[in-house]
Structure 1
């Protein structure tokens, strides 16, 4: 065996914050968790694995793990959290005319906060309140689907490792 069953189980639990939480708060069913992990353990150790061995490893892992182990801790610690208030949102139909208006508007927004989220049929613009009238004024009333004011945004800037480290987003939600 390249990896031991217990090390593989420990590694799988370390990468899954919801499993860690279930084990820490004692609402996780060891057998169910073991059955869920069994295919991954079999693949990792490259041999036939007994369910009882995985159950025992899950019980041992409960005592060993600490929340936000390893890479998750590094990514979360290296992240910068920024909260902005007094934000506004304007959602408009995604048409060629509106996309062109947005493109022209983006050129005039130097240094101001403006987030553009393009969906299949709607484009949403998020900015600070000072820019609301400027943004709202470029669209026809018929094109505006939704407007909201007095919103807040949470902006998290994380190291590039976040893309290859499972569990980071959940760590932010649980914080």
Structure 2
């Protein structure tokens, strides 16, 4: 393996760095010093900093000038925001289905989101329905979080066959120090639940990436 290939492999382990490379917002020499041990391990010998810097510049140019499948999906995606949400996680019991029917009757057209695990069920509702949920599941509540916002990314159907879209989104938010409280996906929709204080920064980070993707030919 040559230095360029080894550099690419090391950078691929940190998707959020790829994002900033594509925008050319990286101090190449500082990054080269940081990843030098990893590159040296992959090629089995010591390597000088300038060789890694050259590889990083080449990678930056490639990322900036080539539209990848993930970019194509993001360029055609739309984003929306919902405020005043709450999350509650409850234990799965034999009564769960009946309680979900009660939840459905209570929320009406406002709806709710469900994410079922092997032993628990996470429910996302409007804040106004939280007190009802607390009464409904009072003996089986595991976790409750209020003051949340939901970021909904609506993508083309091809997202199901395009690896890396979710990784790109989560890496973007990680780079902005935005915590994802919960994440759900259904067909072509990706739902990211974040704290209300992070909502605008979350939207802006994803919108910037969508605009960047639309600008790649």
- Runs of 5+ consecutive residues of structure 1 not aligned to the other structure: 39-48
| 1:101 to partner: Cα distance | 1.9
Is 1:129 equivalent to 2:127 in the alignment?
yes
Aligned-partner Cα distance in 1 for 2:118–2:73: 32
What's the TM-score once normalised by structure 2's chain length? 0.53
- 2:86–2:146 Cα contact (<8 Å) kept: yes
- 1:90–1:148 Cα contact (<8 Å) kept: yes
Relative contact order higher in (CA < 8 Å, ≥ 6 apart): 1
Aligned-partner Cα distance in 1 for 2:143–2:171: 31
1:76 and 1:14, CA in 2 relative to 1: closer, same or farther beyond 3 A?
A: farther
- 2:7–2:39 Cα contact (<8 Å) kept: no
Aligned residue for 1:43? none
Out of 17-26 and 76-85, give the one that drifted further.
17-26
Aligned residue for 1:59? 53
1:89 and 1:31, CA in 2 relative to 1: closer, same or farther beyond 3 A?
A: closer
What's the TM-score once normalised by structure 1's chain length? 0.63
SS in 1 for 2:136: coil
- 1:10–1:57 Cα contact (<8 Å) kept: no
Aligned residue for 1:172? 172
CA RMSD of aligned residues (A): 3.8
Aligned residue for 1:115? 113
1:158 and 1:51, CA in 2 relative to 1: closer, same or farther beyond 3 A?
A: farther
For residues 136-159 of structure 1, the C-alpha deviation after alignment (integer angstroms, 9 at most, x for no partner) is 4433x2222333332212222334
| 1:121 to partner: Cα distance | 3.0
Aligned residue for 2:27? 25
Aligned-partner Cα distance in 2 for 1:34–1:10: 6
Structure possessing the higher radius of gyration over alpha carbons:
1
Is 1:82 equivalent to 2:87 in the alignment?
no
Aligned-partner Cα distance in 2 for 1:54–1:110: 64
| 1:87 to partner: Cα distance | 0.6
- Runs of 5+ consecutive residues of structure 2 not aligned to the other structure: 176-204, 206-217
For residues 48-79 of structure 1, the C-alpha deviation after alignment (integer angstroms, 9 at most, x for no partner) is x6756897764322222156653243333233
Aligned residue for 1:44? none
Aligned residue for 2:198? none
Is 1:94 equivalent to 2:92 in the alignment?
yes
Is 1:34 equivalent to 2:32 in the alignment?
no
